[in-house]
Amino acid sequence: MGAGPFAQAQHSAQRLARLTGVERHEAAVVLGSGWSPAADALGPALTEFPVTELGGFPAATVPGHAGTARSLALGGRRVLVFLGRVHLYEGHSPATVVHAVRTAVAAGCRVVVLTNAAGGITAGLRVGQPALIREHPNLTGRSPLAGPPPPAGFPPRFADLTDLYSARLRALAQAAGQGLAEGVYAALPGPHYETPAEIAMLAALGADLVGMSTALEAIAARHLGAEVLALSLVTNLAAGLAGHGLEHAEVVAVAATAAGRIGTLLAGLLAQVLAR
């Protein structure tokens, strides 16, 4: 991103306004592996296009990530939905990985909802079950705030992550979801799945869920002042816990089965958030 990641996000937000015909979106949702059916539960698309048309977005390469952006109306407010994301393991920089959320905030989004497919570590988590992310250890070894400092007019790079995942939004989600599980999400770089020994280590560290996304996007969104909510869908039990091997096709299939139901939950939650 030759112009710098923050300038590139502003450029993409301007392009978004031209493509959608609206100057401002109020909330953004990033859908993880296999989550695309959740977009339909949020409401019909008013505009949809490949994210590459916004500039700064590479084409999607991972099955279960459509690589499109959708603008829709929910409760009279505009919501921006990214159907899929890109990952560090595809060879992208942290700035590219978080470009969607930076574009969303530049477009006016004050709430960013991140979703993912995750492996369940803690006993009692079931395949097909959604779980709110309460905190994360970022074990990717990367940060979207590394490198040159943000330009004038942006917050300093030393972001406080004490309240990274909004307690207010989690409380609203708990009310809407009638007792969603909550847990700690360990973010690893992938693309390989973890070994059973690594899962045992993560369990000892207090992780309930494990995946290959979300943490860098959450950091970037919170740095810019957005409220962040993150929701994992347990698509498999982590390595060594299920009695069989792990496959990405299984992850996508489980997510596709549950995504519509969870999309309905997200629609109700966002309607509450945007009404306040």
Active site residue 25: no
Catalytic residue among 117, 186, 187, 238: 117
Active site residue 236: yes
What is the C-alpha separation between 125 and 185, in angstroms, rounded? 13
Catalytic residue among 25, 26, 38, 87: 87
Active site residue 90: yes
Active site residue 65: yes
Domains of the chain: 5-151+163-274 (3.40.50.1580)
Catalytic residue among 104, 181, 212, 255: 212
Handedness of CA 142, 144, 145, 146 (dihedral sign): positive
Active site residue 11: no
Number of neighbouring beta carbons within 10 Å of residue 163: 11
For every one of its 276 residues, what pLDDT tens digit does the chain have, with 9 covering 90 and above? 447 999 999 999 999 999 999 999 999 999 987 777 888 889 999 999 999 999 999 988 877 677 899 999 998 899 999 999 999 999 999 999 999 999 999 999 999 999 999 999 999 999 989 999 999 999 999 999 999 999 999 999 999 999 999 999 999 999 887 778 999 999 999 999 999 999 999 999 999 999 999 999 999 999 999 999 999 999 988 888 876 677 777 777 777 777 778 888 889 889 888 877
Number of neighbouring beta carbons within 10 Å of residue 196: 11
